Amino acid sequence: MGKKEKAKERREKRLQEIQLLRSIPYSHHQRWWSKETIAVVTGGNRGIGFEICRQLAAHGLTVILTSRDATAGGESIKVLQEGGLDVVYHQLDVIDNSSINHFVEWLHENYGGLDILVNNAGVNFNLGSDNSVENARKVIEINYYGTKNLTESLIPLMKPSIVGARIVNVSSRLGRINGRRNRISNIALREQLSDVDCLSEELIDGTLSAFLQQVEDGSWASGGWPQIYTDYSVSKLAVNAYTRLTARKLSERPEGQKIYINCYCPGWVKTALTGFAGNNSVEEGADSGVWLALLLDQTVMGKFFAERREINF
Residue 189: exposure state from Cβ atoms within 10 A (0-12, 13-18, ≥19): middle
Half-sphere exposure of 258 (CA within 13 A, CB side): 14
89 membership: H or E segment, kind and range? strand 87-91
Note the Cα 273 to chain centre separation in Å: 14
CA-CA distance, 73 to 89, in Å (whole number)?
7
The residue annotated as part of the active site, out of 89, 144, 232, 242, is 232
Half-sphere exposure of 82 (CA within 13 A, CB side): 6
Among the listed residues 151, 144, 119, the one whose alpha carbon sits nearest the alpha carbon of residue 41: 119
- Count other C-beta atoms under 10 Å from residue 138's C-beta: 14
Among the listed residues 257, 262, 232, 233, the one whose alpha carbon sits nearest the alpha carbon of residue 246: 262
Q: Is 232 noted as a catalytic residue in this protein? A: yes
Supply the residues annotated as catalytic.
Answer: 232
